[in-house]
């Protein structure tokens, strides 16, 4: 099930709303309608426009370093830039991480200056960060707070990634992650304790920080361990394939037999590509007996047996396929096995439960 839907794009990067975000907007609108005051509704709405700018800053820097950005998803707690991989270079990681908060601070300060020029009497409110009812000023303060909060040097905030990257320049990546995760957990506990005394909302934020830091630590540890697993360690030696002269109906039978939504195409033991389930489903059922595999578009994708399964997983996700053929490095047209998404998931689960 897809839990988010596309609302647009910027610089070729799709922007999506998670369904829970629409629930938040609906709830705020309902409360505004009840009180006949829509100030909070428009503040929340415009704040999330600036959250998009925050996430776009991350994404643009990522693309500058050649990292593909799949999409930006807006959640009630903020935005997430879904990138294909984290940079191996710590200096690139901290630049990517700091871009978002820096953008929020710059935009917030720009709005603050404009609002103070228009309404000089608001100067005292800067010290207290109080809600003034001045739309421009309040939006500016929220952006500044967004930037400052995200610069806290603890996971899962951007500042945690900056902290981790700076530490990773001086120690092992896994050790740097552990320090950032522990700091995030400590901060989460402090927020929860303080929240019981001052503000219930701080308890929720503290729980979010603690859980987010813990998940970040677990994912990094798993990724580090999986990086050492080679394709040959988990690939299947039995390969189901079709030849170009077979019909689409026959290709479909092979798919069902192998229990995967894609199938390899070989011609006299020479790998020609993959025919995917999505391409097959574009053809009407009554036409599949008359159309041959060679008439269909094929994906010419493969991987070597000595590569990491993390690299294979990136390809599977990017190409939206269920399996990837493993070829011999000395002869890339010869298939020696297949690696499936199921095999990668099993390897992930084994590492996670160790």
Catalytic residue positions, numbered: 55
CA pair distance 203, 300, nearest whole angstrom: 51
H or E element, residue 111: helix 90-118
> What is the CB neighbour count within 10 angstroms for residue 307?
16
Written as six digits, the tokens of 57 are 């800053």
Written as six digits, the tokens of 54 are 């925050």
R_g of the chain computed on alpha carbons: 25
CB 230, CB 251: distance < 8 Å? no
Report CA 200 to chain centroid distance, whole Å: 29
User: Roughly how many angstroms between the first and final C-alpha of the chain, as a whole number?
Assistant: 30
Bridge partners (DSSP) of residue 18 are 4
Written as six digits, the tokens of 345 are 């998931």
Burial class (CB in 10 A: 0-12, 13-18, 19+), 70: middle
CB 138, CB 194: distance < 8 Å? no
> What is the CB neighbour count within 10 angstroms for residue 82?
15
> What is the CB neighbour count within 10 angstroms for residue 33?
11
Categorise residue 283: left if φ over 0, alpha if ψ from -120 to 50, beta otherwise: beta
Q: In the 3-class helix/strand/coil scheme, how is 39-55 assigned residue by residue? A: HHHHHHHHHHHHHHHHH
CB 41, CB 76: distance < 8 Å? no
Q: Cite the beta strand spans of 33-92 per DSSP E.
A: 69-75, 78-83
């Amino acid at each position: 099930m897809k839990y988010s839907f596309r609302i647009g794009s910027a610089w070729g990067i799709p922007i999506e709303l998670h369904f829970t975000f629409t629930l938040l907007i609906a709830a705020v609108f309902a409360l505004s309608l009840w009180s006949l005051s829509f100030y909070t509704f428009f503040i929340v709405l415009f704040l999330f426009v600036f959250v998009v700018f925050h996430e776009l800053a991350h994404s643009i820097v990522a693309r500058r370093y050649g990292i593909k950005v799949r999409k930006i998803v807006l959640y009630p707690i903020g935005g997430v830039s879904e990138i294909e991989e984290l940079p191996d270079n710590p200096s690139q990681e901290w630049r990517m991480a700091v871009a978002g908060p820096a953008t929020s601070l710059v935009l917030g300060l720009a709005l603050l200056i404009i609002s103070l020029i228009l309404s000089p009497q608001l100067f005292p409110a800067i010290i207290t960060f109080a809600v003034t009812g001045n739309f421009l000023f309040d939006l500016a303060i929220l952006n500044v707070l967004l930037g400052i909060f995200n610069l806290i040097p603890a996971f899962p905030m951007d500042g945690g990634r900056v902290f981790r990257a700076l530490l990773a320049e001086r120690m092992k990546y896994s050790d740097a992650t552990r320090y950032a995760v522990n700091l995030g957990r400590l901060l989460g506990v402090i927020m929860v304790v303080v929240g019981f005394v001052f503000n219930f909302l701080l308890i929720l934020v503290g729980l979010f920080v603690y859980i987010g830091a813990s998940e970040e630590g677990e994912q990094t540890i798993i990724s580090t361990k999986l990086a050492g697993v080679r394709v040959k360690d988990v690939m299947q030696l039995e390969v189901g394939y079709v030849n170009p002269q077979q019909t689409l109906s026959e290709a479909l039978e092979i798919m069902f037999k192998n229990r995967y939504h894609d199938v390899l195409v070989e011609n006299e033991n020479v790998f020609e590509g993959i025919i995917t389930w999505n391409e097959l489903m574009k053809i009407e059922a009554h036409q599949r007996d008359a159309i041959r595999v060679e008439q269909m578009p094929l994906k010419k994708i493969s991987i070597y047996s000595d590569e990491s399964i993390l690299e294979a997983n990136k390809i599977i996700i990017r190409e939206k396929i269920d399996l990837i053929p493993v070829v011999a490095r000395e002869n890339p047209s010869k298939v020696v096995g297949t690696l499936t998404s199921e095999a990668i998931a099993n390897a992930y689960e084994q590492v996670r439960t160790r």
